[in-house]
A and B are shown apart, each in its own frame.
Chain A
Amino acid sequence: MDYTKQIKEIAGKLFSEEKIDVFIGYRNSGFDENQVPVLIHHYQDVDQLVFTEKSVFNLTNYLKYEHTRNKRVGLVVKGCDSRALNLMLTENQVKRENLYIVGIACEGVVDEAGQKAQNCLECVMPDSVVFDEMLGTPSGKREYQVNADIRELDGKELTERLTYFEEVFENCIRCNACRHSCPLCYCDKCCIDQETSTLYHGANTTSSAFHALMTWSLHLAGRCVDCRNCEKACPSHLPLHLLHKQNEKVVYENFQEHQAGMIEGDRGAFYKYSMSDPDDFIM
């Protein structure tokens, strides 16, 4: 999977036709094989752009910062990224007419060790679902399967699960990198940053980490697209996907097989009201 040449051409064309103010893509870090997201403002910088299986970070995250607000933006999105973008569009965070979207028919990205990432192996939608231009050959939607880690966790006793998660939260340093890396955490003032609140106090204790991460994961229930920006951002390498994959499973099973961001304009699991809802459980 190498679309470096095509992306350079597209970005160059967009700048020369003055269709965009900024292009968001990836460049080589220059130190190792990792790539760094880059915001390009001028035609002469287009040559920095690359796209390979090392292009991991979900770039739609940058649509929530001041650099791109109310500007015409070109950006590269993989399958999962495009689902996040769909949700941002539906939730009125960005305007479609301001975007030029280069969609990728993704073949999966690789982790630090060069292995295909777990979320790519389980991916339900590798092709970009919203785009102006598509690169690669789409391979279509895949069947949803429950994550192997979740199956394993579900097999355990509740107390055992609690002990496991207590250990997870104990290792959290509350840097909030997970939240900041999430494109769908776009609130200007997050509820867990309320310094004066006695509910979400700012101390980095295990209980406050528990509280903050659970709140965070529930706000993303039915919205998380499994791009794993949060997990890759975590300096303590916490298995944050477990929280989201569990929610995903519950939503899939109880909300008519709902999957986040698949359809443009879809309001999402918790925003729809239907008289025919069975209402037979509380999540």
Chain B
Amino acid sequence: MNLTTYSTDSAGLQAFYEAIINAHETYAPVEKFGKYDFKKVDSLAGCDPDSPIPQTMSVKSLFFPKSAKVMKYTATSEGTELSDTTEDPLAGKRVVLGVKHCDARGLQVLDAVYKWDYIDTDYEKRRENTILISPRCDQAVTHCFCTSLDYDVENLDAMDVAVIHVGDGKVYLQARTEKGKNFLKENNKGLSAANGAAKEEMKKQYDKFAGSFRLSMDYKEINEKMQDKFDSPAFEEVSSNCVSCNTCAFVCPTCHCFKISDEKIRDKGVRYKSYDSCNNVYFTLMAGGHNPRPVKYRRWRQRSMHKFVYYKERFGVNLCIGCGKCTISCPVNISIFEVVNKVVNTMQE
């Protein structure tokens, strides 16, 4: 695809963002208690599209919210009546600013499972109606390893528009999808077509960014070696200090397991679909009381194998995108990077 690129300066970018906020329903990272979460905004002053990486929550919540109404029901002695819930608040046409590249890739990975044998129409609609605008990071933080995984961070097409700060206040906006191309064409006030130097300057910015990573792994080696590690004793060791909370899964941009629960008052009820996590001891508890994963190491095995083996086998992509959110949020600082490396490097007798 021919990538349309526009150039502008910092002030022009601010004006671009402001024009979007004025004209469209816009979501962007908003700070609360020192953490940035994606919320609806009505002015640029209240949000930060360049929010710091470690403090930013995943954009997943705009497509797969922490809790969504599925249906309403009335259950009386005469029978049960089902009805649709009121309109989905996330289904409208909207623009999301400040999505990190890894986060955008997370959605691309999620598409595979949500549009697989059963198509989740809510998710599909939210995806279709959303334009993602994603600034490329300048500097990796401690737990980032996105460049080591199976996607091309430089030319990623998971977002519609990439924003690249090349220094000296100069900014390039590059359309990465057809949707993004049309969006930029409609909102190009204050933007000018990029000249021949753009490609080189963007490449330079990327190389500098890619050089700032402290972590690197060979994902092909991990994918291959992990397959034989189901019975590895290393899982017991790496999971011994896990406290079995659900944080890693809840903050993960690609974790997609959910549970169904009812909020019921007398004969009226609402059914919700909410986040769930395989690190939860009740996750695999079955009616009758059997639990195939009653201990921590089995749950950790499931989590790491799903990220690097099972999803890859089924959909051809890794479920881990190297964003480091789980490690940053973990109460005891367990690193998925360290875990998989330890598992593949532990000898089996």
Report which A residues bind B (CB closer than 8 A): 29-32, 34-39, 57, 61-62, 65-67, 167-168, 171, 173-177, 179-181, 193, 195, 198, 201-205, 208, 229, 232-233, 235-239
B244: chain A residues within 8 A (beta carbon): 65, 180
B284 lies within 8 A of chain A by Cβ: no
User: Nearest Cβ in chain B — how far from A28, in angstroms?
Assistant: 10
B33 lies within 8 A of chain A by Cβ: yes
B262: chain A residues within 8 A (beta carbon): 198, 201
Task: Contact check, B142 vs A31: say whether CB atoms are below 8 A apart.
Answer: yes
Tell me which residues from 326 to 344 in chain B have a Cβ below 8 Å from any Cβ of chain A. Answer: 327, 329, 331-335, 338
User: Nearest Cβ in chain A — how far from B57, in angstroms?
Assistant: 8
Tell me which residues from 259 to 280 in chain B have a Cβ below 8 Å from any Cβ of chain A. Answer: 259, 261-265, 272, 274-275, 277
B257: chain A residues within 8 A (beta carbon): none
Query: Smallest CB-CB separation from A68: which chain B residue?
Result: B240
B290 lies within 8 A of chain A by Cβ: no
The 14 listed contacts between A and B (C-beta, < 8 Å) are: A29-B333, A37-B332, A174-B274, A175-B246, A175-B247, A195-B261, A195-B282, A201-B272, A202-B261, A203-B261, A203-B274, A204-B275, A232-B331, A237-B34
Complex Cα distance A173/B32, Å? 14
Given A173-B275, A233-B331: A238 in contact with B243 (beta carbons within 8 A): no
B206: chain A residues within 8 A (beta carbon): none
Complex Cα distance A195/B286, Å? 12
B143 lies within 8 A of chain A by Cβ: yes
Complex Cα distance A237/B265, Å? 32
User: Nearest Cβ in chain A — how far from B253, in angstroms?
Assistant: 13
The interface centre, meaning the residue of A65, A195, A229, A235 with most chain B CB atoms within 10 A of its CB, is: A235
Task: Contact check, B245 vs A233: say whether CB atoms are below 8 A apart.
Answer: yes
Complex Cα distance A173/B277, Å? 12
Task: Contact check, B245 vs A177: say whether CB atoms are below 8 A apart.
Answer: yes
Task: Contact check, B250 vs A34: say whether CB atoms are below 8 A apart.
Answer: no
B99 lies within 8 A of chain A by Cβ: no
Determine which of A36, A61, A180, A236 lies in contact with B334 in the assembled complex, contact meaning CB atoms within 8 Å.
Answer: A36
B142: chain A residues within 8 A (beta carbon): 31-32
A195: chain B residues within 8 A (beta carbon): 259, 261, 282
Task: Contact check, B333 vs A36: say whether CB atoms are below 8 A apart.
Answer: yes
Determine which of B33, B241, B275, B282 lies in contact with A238 in the assembled complex, contact meaning CB atoms within 8 Å.
Answer: B33
A67: chain B residues within 8 A (beta carbon): 240, 296
Task: Contact check, A177 vs B247: say whether CB atoms are below 8 A apart.
Answer: yes
Query: Smallest CB-CB separation from B262: which chain A residue?
Result: A201
Complex Cα distance A39/B334, Å? 13
Determine which of B33, B241, B243, B282 lies in contact with A171 in the assembled complex, contact meaning CB atoms within 8 Å.
Answer: B33
Task: Contact check, A204 vs B67: say whether CB atoms are below 8 A apart.
Answer: yes
Complex Cα distance A212/B270, Å? 19
A29: chain B residues within 8 A (beta carbon): 333, 335
Determine which of A167, A204, A233 lies in contact with B32 in the assembled complex, contact meaning CB atoms within 8 Å.
Answer: A167
Query: Smallest CB-CB separation from A31: which chain B residue?
Result: B142
Task: Contact check, B277 vs A61: say whether CB atoms are below 8 A apart.
Answer: no
Given A235-B329, A239-B33: A175 in contact with B250 (beta carbons within 8 A): yes
Task: Contact check, A62 vs B241: say whether CB atoms are below 8 A apart.
Answer: yes
B215: chain A residues within 8 A (beta carbon): 31
Task: Contact check, B246 vs A176: say whether CB atoms are below 8 A apart.
Answer: yes
A167: chain B residues within 8 A (beta carbon): 32
User: Nearest Cβ in chain A — how far from B239, in angstroms?
Assistant: 9
Task: Contact check, A205 vs B272: say whether CB atoms are below 8 A apart.
Answer: yes
